[in-house]
Amino acid sequence: MKHSYVLYEYSSVVWNRRCPEIASAWDEKVWDKGTLLAFGGGFDDANFEHAFTIQRIQAKIRRHWLQLEKMNGQPEYRAQSLQNIKAELDNWKAMIPLVASNVNEATVCHPISMLMLYNYSICCLYQNEIVVPTLDDYSILLAAAGENARCFQRIQVHQPMILYTWDWLYSQFTISVILLSCFWGTPYMYRTTAYQAPDTLQAVEDCELILARFAQRWEAAEIYLETFQLILSETPISFPHNPNFVLSDPSKLRAINLIQSLEKGKIPVSVIVMLKRIVNQPVAEHTQMY
């Protein structure tokens, strides 16, 4: 039961692309269940209740994007909605030390797993195919994606948890692309010190290591590692590397072919859009800021 809610979240992005009506039905059930529990006294298990609470927030995030799409990305609505949901997530994060369990065998109850869920939810809240992130959004995404990657790597290296499933591959590939997109979307002159912080650079390395392990496990997962490594090789991590913020022609051609292959799979639309933004980024969009 406890594992099913985590599986639900990491598979929802896949179902939302293939069968949005099924994903919407699931969200409604989570939402309704949360309402019933609010009036019925909640769960007996505090850490399980905490894990379920973030499921309800994640359902709210998907509702946020659906509503925003209907409103054609109205900035006033988005700003207020982001603020409200971000506050809920931050309150949820603050409760982790009180409800998490280092001895509970359910991975969802481990503090690092809960921290991963928080950061993944932040990424879902600030990244979507219908809106290009702002510079402030990219700073938030950089921190969330970076911490998520470091947590996943730490779990695999130091904790007795096995998270190698296809759903986890999709989620970690998403995190990896989000992390790189922050560098592509933020010109050097507008970056905070966080972009060169040791934790951030370590997270980039961790993303590659994580995807490499998946590629070793399944031959079909090699395309995710190859795509990440190709984009990473020309990502403007630090000045003066790639000051024009554009892929070389050979890399662009290869990236287009890889993206076409990924589109045939189960990768969320938002990830495909992020990759296409990187590949099709015009020179003028960045060079005019120097």
Domain boundary pick from 70, 97, 121: 121
Q: What is the largest CA-CA distance in the chain?
A: 60
Do residues 243 and 180 share a domain?
A: yes
190-203 confidence digits (pLDDT tens): 999 999 999 999 99
> Residue 131: beta bridge partners?
128
- On the question of pLDDT at 185 being above 70, the answer is yes
**Total domain count for the chain?**
2
Question: For residue 126, is it within any domain?
Answer: no
Do residues 63 and 136 share a domain?
A: no
Question: Whose CA is closest to 283, among 236, 213, 215, 226?
Answer: 236
Do residues 173 and 226 share a domain?
A: yes
**Higher model confidence: residue 45 or residue 232?**
232
Crossing angle of helices 2-18/20-40, nearest 10°?
A: 150
Question: For residue 114, is it within any domain?
Answer: yes
Domain boundary pick from 81, 98, 121: 121
Question: For residue 127, is it within any domain?
Answer: no
Do residues 152 and 285 share a domain?
A: yes
What pTM was estimated for this model as a whole?
A: 0.84
Do residues 84 and 225 share a domain?
A: no
49-80 confidence digits (pLDDT tens): 777 788 889 889 988 888 888 887 678 888 89
Do residues 145 and 61 share a domain?
A: no
The tokens describing 290, both together, are 């120097």
- On the question of pLDDT at 35 being above 60, the answer is no
Do residues 106 and 241 share a domain?
A: no
Question: For residue 264, is it within any domain?
Answer: yes
Question: For residue 275, is it within any domain?
Answer: yes
Do residues 138 and 56 share a domain?
A: no
* 152 in Cβ contact with 127 (< 8 Å): no
Per-residue pLDDT at 6: 47
Do residues 88 and 155 share a domain?
A: no
Quote the CA–CA distance of 254 and 280 in Å, as a whole number. Answer: 13
Do residues 90 and 161 share a domain?
A: no
* 234 in Cβ contact with 254 (< 8 Å): no
Range of the domain at 108: 1-121
Do residues 112 and 137 share a domain?
A: no
**Higher model confidence: residue 69 or residue 127?**
127
Per-residue pLDDT at 143: 98
- On the question of pLDDT at 275 being above 50, the answer is yes
Domain boundary pick from 121, 151, 169: 121
Do residues 182 and 269 share a domain?
A: yes
Question: For residue 272, is it within any domain?
Answer: yes
Positive or negative torsion for Cα 226, 231, 233, 237: negative
Question: For residue 235, is it within any domain?
Answer: yes
11-21 confidence digits (pLDDT tens): 554 445 545 55
Question: For residue 142, is it within any domain?
Answer: yes
